[in-house]
Amino acid sequence: MPAKQDKSESGVNRKMSLAAPLTLCVTALSSLCALAADTFPSKPLRIIAPEAGGNADTVARLIANGLSRSLGQNVVVENRGGNAVIGGQVLASSQPDGYTLLAGSTVWILPLIQKNVPFDPMRDFAPVTLATRTPMVLAVNPSSPATTVKELIALAKAKPGALSYGAASIGSTNHLAAELFKSMAQVNVVFVPYKGIALAVNDLISDRLQMMFPAASTGMPHAKSGRLRVLAVSTENPSPLAPGLPTVASSGLPGFEAAFLTGMLVRAKTPPALVQRLSGEISRVITDNEVKGRLFAIGIEAVGNTPADLAQIMKVEIAKWGKVIRDAGIQPH
């Protein structure tokens, strides 16, 4: 008479039988992802960038040139002007295969400042690497009595609503940096929107504005010529692009940090092995000494980090700027 099988043993066998196909599927999927990464790329890639001539476009073209050499495939930069929503739409509608990338400047906060954004950056995009960081400087007119950040804060508190600042547009990085300054310093400084940052800088030089946060590459040459006075740099740490300047954070506003960021993104659900490979390749390109030198010459710091690093930066940026936008009463437009 055959021995009676123990029920617990039978249950374990059934679970093992059910688990075996699942294990095979996971193994097969992992193998396919690895194979995709090994054979990638088998056709040209494209990098979606804003209008030609801007910082993100410059970064995208340097990355494209380097990737073309390292990957052995053409990498084309497609300019999608107008606003960042257009480029984001292109990426959101692309296949999650790593062949379409977006050079996005703070694209992750678009839903906070614009209405009806047809994608969710955190849901629809996968971070690859933070390519670059462009510091800003806190600048005033040379005739201002403020020679330090603390003196500027004291001046603004003594004359609430009497000082004004300019920025490129509502929700621009210059605008949000100034609103962060106002919030942290608890001062009332009036915002004057401009169609372009150059117009705002001209009015600061002409003393029609009292302060602003231009890019260091814009503010430092005017400071050297005596047309502006720069008080501090906006980044967390001192920047070689603004030599000798303290940070805003170390000058009276601990925790202050703001910069133009250009992140490289792909479509969500792109195989992780491909994302990691693209991250490594782009980081190698962007931190190449020649590329770093070319970026430095136009006021941009090369970064290059991991997908996890950029994901964390995006989360922090959304939380920080979301609070600034709410506190300032900025409405999506």
- Euclidean distance between CA atoms 242 and 219, whole angstroms: 9
191 falls in which pLDDT band (50, 70, 90)? very high
C-beta of residue 254 within 8 angstroms of C-beta of residue 149: no
How far is residue 144 from each of residues 154, 207, 315, measured CA to CA in Å? 12, 9, 37
Q: Which of 24-28, 213-217, 225-229 has the lowest mean pLDDT?
A: 24-28
Can you tell me the mean pLDDT for 144-151?
98
Mean predicted confidence (pLDDT) in 126-140: 97
Fold of 45-133+260-328: D-Maltodextrin-Binding Protein; domain 2 (3.40.190)
Could you tell me if 285 and 62 are in contact, meaning their C-beta atoms sit under 8 angstroms apart?
yes
Region of residue 116 (left: phi > 0; alpha: psi -120 to 50; beta: else): left
Out of 15-24, 56-65, 231-240, least confident range:
15-24
Average pLDDT, the chain: 90
Q: Please say whether the dihedral angle defined by the alpha carbons of residues 295, 122, 170 and 323, taken in this order, is positive or negative.
A: negative
pTM: 0.86
Provide the residue type at 233 as one letter. V
Mean pLDDT of 2-13: 50
Q: Give the pLDDT confidence score for residue 168 in this predicted structure.
A: 87
pLDDT-based confidence at residue 12 (cuts at 50, 70, 90): very low
What confidence score (pLDDT) does residue 333 get? 82
* Spatial separation of the C-alpha atoms in residues 202 and 195, rounded to whole Å: 12
More confident residue, 168 or 45: 45
- pLDDT value of position 77: 96
CA distance 106 to 166: 20
Q: Percent helix, strand and coil across the chain, each rounded to 5?
A: 50, 20, 35
Predicted pLDDT at 54? 81
Give the per-residue pLDDT at 82: 64
The backbone region for 332, taken as left when phi is positive above 0, alpha when psi lies in -120 to 50, beta otherwise, is beta
pLDDT of residue 95: 97
Digit-coded pLDDT (tens) for 256-288: 999 999 999 999 999 999 999 999 999 999 999
* Dist CA 130 CA 104 (whole Å): 10
> Quick check: 260 and 130 in contact, CB under 8 A?
no
Rounded Cα distance between 165 and 174, Å, is: 10
Q: What is the percent of the chain with per-residue pLDDT over 90, rounded to a whole number?
A: 80
Q: Select from 227, 254, 230, 261 the least CA-distant residue to 244.
A: 230
pLDDT of residue 37: 63
**Closest Cα partner for 47 from 112, 131, 106?**
131
pLDDT at 13: 52
Give the tens place of pLDDT for each residue, 61-113. 999 999 999 999 999 999 987 678 899 999 999 999 999 999 988 899 999 99
- Dihedral pair phi/psi, residue 225, rounded to 5°: -85, -5
pLDDT of residue 248: 98
Cβ 273 vs Cβ 33: under 8 Å: yes
Residue 102 pLDDT:
97
Torsion angle (degrees, nearest 10) of CA 123, 331, 252, 160: 180
Please give the pLDDT value at position 299. Answer: 94
* Domain regions of the chain by residue span: 45-133+260-328, 137-251
Q: What is the pLDDT averaged over residues 137-161?
A: 97
Helical spans, DSSP H, in the chain: 7-39, 55-71, 84-92, 110-113, 121-124, 149-158, 173-185, 197-205, 216-224, 272-286, 289-297, 307-328
- 79: Cβ contacts below 8 Å, ≥ 6 apart: 49, 50, 51, 52, 57
Q: Assign 43 a pLDDT band (cuts: 50, 70, 90).
A: very high
CA 91: distance to chain centroid?
16
Task: Measure CA 69 to chain center.
Answer: 25
Decide: 139 and 211 in contact? Cβ < 8 Å: yes
pLDDT value at 318 more than 80: yes
What is the per-residue pLDDT across 20-31, written as a single tens digit (0 to 9) for each? Answer: 554 544 454 454
Between residues 107 and 309, the one the model is more confident about? 309
pLDDT at residue 10 above 70?
no
Q: Provide the CATH number for the domain formed by 137-251 in this structure.
A: 3.40.190.10
pLDDT at 36 over 60: no
Supply φ then ψ for residue 248, to 5 degrees: -60, -40
Two tokens, residue 237: 């740490």
Quote the pLDDT of residue 83. Answer: 72
